[in-house]
Amino acid sequence: MAMNSWQSRLRYRLISKRYMNILQSIQQLDGEILLLIQQYLRTDMLTPFMKSVTFLGNGGWFWILCAVVLLAVPKTRKTGYAAALSLIFGAIVTNLLLKNIVARPRPFAEIEALIPMITKPKDFSFPSGHTTASFAVALVMLRMLPKKFGIPAVVLAVLVAFSRLYLGVHYPTDVLTGFVIAGGKYAVSVDRANETGRQTGTLDCPEDRKI
């Protein structure tokens, strides 16, 4: 029994060490990508544009506005409902739970050579709330609206996500995780909106993708 206990502790330590090595490797790769972006992609012409793009994601205000507008129009009410649900679910998982549980410092606090291009955010880094909010709505729009609305929304979401890397306020894995969260929550929200519409009839204004 003592031998089994000793072996279990040793196995746990080996797994923990391997896990920490993986995390350190990811952290190092994250930092190297940000420094490459800073060195080769930042320009005086592009920086103001990226600041404007990232502003659209501040507090999710632009995407909240999109959801409100979609809710206000009867023909797109179901899409607005799904977008609102997706935003709420994403905010709970990202901003209320994961950011505080993981408590990952911002990259500019860990990488001395990295220069942030906007006012330093004071909250934690992982995952990216801007990315989650952007894709939470954009993916709903892509799924439920005509492509002439859905594709530009997704392009804007991609730009918002990249702007967080460009400006030096998020790691690549922060952004990637934000996208994954949004991808999962948007699908649930669309299904929920469709189910609610069928049960109540209040959302039976089908977006026939011909708007």
Task: Kindly provide the b/e burial profile for residues 54-72, where b requires at least 16 CB atoms within 10 angstroms of the residue's own CB.
Answer: bebbeebebbbebbeebbe
pTM to 2 decimal places = 0.86
Encode pLDDT of 48-75 as tens digits. Answer: 999 999 999 999 999 999 999 999 999 9
Encode pLDDT of 141-194 as tens digits. Answer: 999 999 999 999 999 999 999 999 999 999 999 999 999 999 998 888 887 777
The CB-based long-range contact list for 112-120 (8 Å cut-off, 24+ gap) reads 113/35, 113/38, 114/31, 114/34, 114/35, 114/38, 114/168, 115/38, 115/168, 116/167, 116/168, 116/169, 117/42, 117/47, 117/50, 117/51, 117/166, 117/167, 117/168, 118/51, 118/54, 118/167, 118/169, 120/169
Encode pLDDT of 125-153 as tens digits. Answer: 999 999 999 999 999 999 999 999 999 99
Confidence grade of residue 4 (pLDDT, cut at 50, 70, 90): low
